[in-house]
Amino acid sequence: MGYVSAVPVPQPRAARVAVPGNSRRSLAAALLLGALGATVVLLSAGQIWAEGTASVGGGTVPVEADGGTVTGVPTALAIVGLAALFAVFAVR
């Protein structure tokens, strides 16, 4: 049998020391990029996505479709994302 001791063996994870400034920086970067992404989605959902003409009777009518007309999902997800970012501030 080998040598048996009651002394605990040091673990490599215990030797690491967490740097508090690094976690705050990464949280700030994540919040900033999340807000930027949600803003880009909200702005793109308001833009015109498609243009065309429709033949009606004896003439043509111009038709435009913006993001809100095509689908409401990107706008809804962007609003939920912004609400989640504000919830992070409320919980902290």
Per-residue pLDDT of the chain (92 residues; tens, 9 = 90+): 567 777 777 667 655 555 566 788 888 888 999 999 999 988 888 888 889 999 988 899 999 988 877 788 888 989 999 999 889 878 87
Q: What is the CA radius of gyration of the chain?
A: 27
Sequence ranges of the domains in the chain:
24-91
Q: Identify the helix (H) or strand (E) that includes residue 80.
A: helix 73-91
Report whether 85 contacts 38 (CB < 8 A).
yes
Residue 61, C-beta contacts closer than 8 angstroms, at least 6 positions apart: 53, 54
pLDDT value of residue 80? 93
Q: Cα(77)–Cα(59) distance, rounded to whole angstroms?
A: 39
Q: Cα(81)–Cα(49) distance, rounded to whole angstroms?
A: 22
